[in-house]
Amino acid sequence: MSIRVHNSEHFEELRQSALSNSSLPSKSRSTASPPNASDKMTASVLSKETHMKRMSMKHELYTKEQEAMQKKLAETIAENIQRQKSKKEGQYLKLQQEVEDGKILAKELREKLELQQQSKTRQFSRMHEEWTNGVFHKLNDPIVAKVQSMDGKQRSAERAEAYQKFLDITNKKGGLFRDIIIESEYNPLSDAKFINHRAKLDDPVKRAIRRREEEDAIARDGANMSNEAGDLPVLSGQNVGRSDNLDVKLWSKGEFESTPYGYFHKMMNSTASSDGSKTYASHVKLDHYNIEKGPEVLRQELPKGKRTNFDGYKIPKTTFQIN
């Protein structure tokens, strides 16, 4: 039997008290007079004192155990709180970093969009300036010069004469119709003089379409020249079927997707899923330089012949059987 001692001082005091009570010799105990009432009272007082000491020791041990448990529990709670706090701080720092990365990404995208918009604005401005100088002024300036070179008095006299002709024929016939013109009697268009001017223009707005038409014309001429030597018929006008390049008139959104080019573009931008890739999975080894060799591979490709044997049926003997 083993005894666990929690307080060595109390245990030593209890042991000394027990030794003092049992220190009387055996002879004196045998020859002594029978215990009286005072001795019983003394023994009961001693037992009560011992019991009280034991109870106080137990209470003190229980108090210390509870204090240790409370201290350990408080330390555990503090550690958990500190761990949760550190975890929340880490999550907060991670989210803050993501927000900062998002701001940086948004800033970069905004700068790229601004640069793209500036480039597009410069392109439109350059195209407008080129169109103004190469198209508008080429057509407008000569006409304006011709109009400004006209004599105002002469134009007024011509307009008055034309108006007088209109009044005379109106009084003579009683009415004129714009859709019925009898040139022998009155032609209102003879007095209308138009200023014509022609010039060779390079319209930057239609430059891509014009170059495409020129390329198509060159391609058709080459195809016609090559077909003249063979039996293929010469194609005139627009090519039949799908051409090698997509027409620039179909580049706008909504039309491009309806062409075979749009479907191909959609297929190239799509990503193959993991489920669909299993259908096209292959276990065939395609390597023309590292070919598997050896008797095992030969036995797998050209195995030995198998003997046919039916269960429950005895193979009959033939006349050519060798015993």
pTM > 0.75: no
Ranges of each domain in the chain: 47-149
What pLDDT is stored for residue 158 in this prediction?
Answer: 86
Q: Is the pLDDT of residue 26 over 60?
A: no
Within the chain, where are the H helices?
A: 8-21, 26-31, 37-131, 137-148, 152-173, 207-228, 260-269, 274-277, 295-301
Task: Read off the tokens for 51.
Answer: 């019991």
Distance between CA atoms of residues 39 and 46, nearest Å:
10
Q: Is the pLDDT of residue 261 over 70?
A: no
What pLDDT is stored for residue 191 in this prediction?
Answer: 76
What pLDDT is stored for residue 38 in this prediction?
Answer: 63
What pLDDT is stored for residue 265 in this prediction?
Answer: 64
Q: Is the pLDDT of residue 111 over 90?
A: yes
Q: Is the pLDDT of residue 256 over 70?
A: no
Distance between CA atoms of residues 207 and 83, nearest Å:
69
Give the percent of the chain with pLDDT over 70.
69
At a CB cut-off of 8 Å and minimum separation 6, what does 224 contact?
234, 235
Q: Which band of pLDDT confidence, cut at 50, 70 and 90, is reported for residue 297? A: confident
Q: Which band of pLDDT confidence, cut at 50, 70 and 90, is reported for residue 110? A: very high
| Nearest C-alpha neighbor of 164 from the set 154, 172, 178, 152 | 172
Q: Is the pLDDT of residue 31 over 60?
A: no
Which range in 167-171, 193-197, 299-303 is most confidently predicted, on average pLDDT? 299-303
- Average pLDDT of span 269-275: 65
Collapsing DSSP to helix, strand or coil, 23 comes out as coil
- Average pLDDT of span 32-39: 55
Q: Is the pLDDT of residue 141 over 70?
A: yes
Distance between CA atoms of residues 20 and 49, nearest Å:
15
What pLDDT is stored for residue 122 in this prediction?
Answer: 94
Collapsing DSSP to helix, strand or coil, 183 comes out as coil
What pLDDT is stored for residue 32 in this prediction?
Answer: 46
210 versus 306: the higher-pLDDT residue is: 210
Output the CA–CA distances (angstroms, integers) from residue 157 to 140, 167, 192, 250, 275, in the order listed: 26, 15, 14, 54, 88
246 versus 61: the higher-pLDDT residue is: 61
| Nearest C-alpha neighbor of 244 from the set 230, 261, 225, 227 | 261
Distance between CA atoms of residues 14 and 8, nearest Å:
10
